[in-house]
Amino acid sequence: MDTIKILIVDDETEFGSTLAERLELRGFAAKAVSGAEEALTVLTSDWRPQVVLLDLMMPGIDGLTTLDLIKKHDPRIQVIILTGHGSTESGIIGMRRGLFDYLMKPVDIGELVSKIKEASTV
């Protein structure tokens, strides 16, 4: 089975890089970027992630717009929102736009891993 590639999009770079490192320790290939522009750059490169972990509140392009851009680029990519600024309304909007799931920070790594695996099999 191929290694699952995960792209972490979060303006909190400390969080993103640490999470990426932890996911790699669990056998995933993970990259962390700090915003939507960088994420789109990664998506257009050869490294295509199956799952994107996306923060909601980011400076510049926000999470929901980034979700639209990702889905527009490749609808097969599954996006999981991972945010500390969560609200049910934004979760519902995200679901309507093709969001796979919605998790609140701080998240349990076991729960996150199972969600990523679930998303990658879709």
Partner 1 sequence: MKDNSFGSLCPLFCGLHNKNLSTRERYRCMRNSMLIAMLAITLIPMAIISGINFVQYRQLLQNESYANARWSAESARATINAYLEKMEAAITVVLDSYTFEDLTDQQQLDQIFRRLKEEHQGLVDIGVIGSDGIQITYAGPYKLVGKNYNDSIWFHKALTRKIYVSEVFTGFRNFPHFVVAASKKGSASSQDSWVLRASIDSETLDHFLASVNTGALEDIFLVNDSNKLQSSSRYHGTVLEDFKLGNKPKQNDILISGEGSNGSFYRAVSRIPHTPWFLVLDHQGYAKRGDWHSFKRGLMLTLISCSLVLGCIIIWLSAFIAGKLREADEMREAMLSETEHTDKLASIGRLAAGVAHEINNPLAIIGEKAGLMQDLLEMDRDFRYREKFIDQLDSLQNAVGRARTITHRLLGFARRMETSLTLVHLNDIIREVISFLEKEAAYHNIHILLQLQKELPVIRADHGQLQQVLLNVINNAIDAISNAMVTTNNAMEAINNEGEIHITSSCDDNKTVMIAISDTGPGMSTETMKNIFEPFFTTKGNEEKKGTGLGLSITYGIVQKLGGKIEVNSEIGIGTTFIITFPVYSERSDGNGHN
And the tokens for 78? 């599954």
Which of 43, 63 has the CB closer to partner 1?
A: 63
- To partner 1, the closest distance from the beta carbon of 17 in angstroms equals 9
Residues in the site for partner 1, rule: CB under 8 A? 12, 14-15, 18-19, 21-22, 25-26, 57, 83-88, 104-107, 109
Which of 50, 83 has the CB closer to partner 1?
A: 83
Burial 15-46 (b: 16+ CB within 10 A, else e): bbbebbeebeeeebbbbbbbbbeebbebbeee
- To partner 1, the closest distance from the beta carbon of 18 in angstroms equals 4
107 phi and psi angles, rounded to 5 deg:
-110, 150
And the tokens for 86? 């969560």
Which of 84, 98 has the CB closer to partner 1?
A: 84
- To partner 1, the closest distance from the beta carbon of 28 in angstroms equals 13
Say how far apart CA 92 and CA 42 lie, in whole Å: 27
